[in-house]
Amino acid sequence: MKEKKKVTKKMKISKILRKVAFIGGYVIALNVVQASNVFAANDPLSVINNLSTFIFGIIRAIGMILLGWGIVQVGLALKSHDASQRANGFLTVAGGVIITFAKEILDLITGG
């Protein structure tokens, strides 16, 4: 009987963490999309730069969502002592960091 209660408690915690991660990701994506405005201008290069800024904003939002989901995975893995889930969580966190800072990494590589 105790094991059944533990399993249901873990399932409830897991569902709550998933909802929090989803809502957090949605809020981050909404803020990035609202904060990025693409204005038309007479200069074609300016238009392309604005579009690039908008696209990198979307990519940054996706990276933050992955970063949040990776943190949730690591937290669940530490609670359940699951080594493979922990490894997947750390990989997701690393991927989220790389995707979040993709523009800065590209600027560092190209020197621009």
Q: Is the pLDDT of residue 79 over 80?
A: yes
pLDDT tens per residue, range 25-57:
666 666 666 655 556 557 778 888 888 889 999
pTM as predicted:
0.60
Q: How many domains does the chain have?
A: 1
| Measured distance CA(11)–CA(103) in Å, rounded | 38
Query: What residue has token string 């059944």?
Result: 4
Residue 7 pLDDT? 57
The two three-digit tokens of residue 56, written as one number: 């990198």
Across the chain, mean pLDDT equals 79
Within 10 angstroms of residue 51's Cβ, the number of other Cβ atoms is 12
The residue segments making up the domain with residue 67 are 2-110
